[in-house]
Amino acid sequence: MNCTACGKEIYPGSRFCSNCGQAVVAQPFQPVKSRLYRPRNGRMIAGVCAGFSQAYGWDIVPVRILLAVFVFLGCGTPILAYIIAWIVMPDEPYFIPAQPYTHPVAQPAPPSSQQPST
Ligand SMILES: [Zn+2]
């Protein structure tokens, strides 16, 4: 999806355009959490576990423990599934994390002396 104001691509889940600050209109047919990709940070091997845990809101630690248990019990089949997921899941797209738009002009520092509230 692209920004309605400047046309720049907006990362799914962002509430504001990272380029111009335009508020993003919510699109109900584009669920944010279901996007599956391998994050660039927090990978242990290829980021498959991290991708699943991020996409579905799971904790990363039990996902990795479960995979390790499955690898131990499955005698190689989970490793094959992991490699398939590695191939199928795309890399995380580069994006600027959604954050409040700050104007590039230097802002005056707020006064440090606070008035006593009486
Ligand atoms: Zn924009």
- Interval between CA 70 and ligand 1 midpoint (Å): 45
Q: Where exactly are the structural domains of the chain?
A: 1-31, 33-93
Highest mean pLDDT among 22-26, 32-36, 68-72, 96-100: 68-72
Out of 43-52, 84-93, 103-112, pick the least confident.
103-112
Q: What is the pTM of this model?
A: 0.44
pLDDT band at 31 (very low <50, low <70, confident <90, very high): very low
- Interval between CA 53 and ligand 1 midpoint (Å): 29
CA distance 90 to 46: 11
Predicted pLDDT of residue 20: 92
Average pLDDT, the chain: 75
- Interval between CA 35 and ligand 1 midpoint (Å): 22
- Name the burial class of residue 22, with classes exposed (0-12), middle (13-18) and buried (19+) by CB atoms within 10 angstroms of its CB: middle
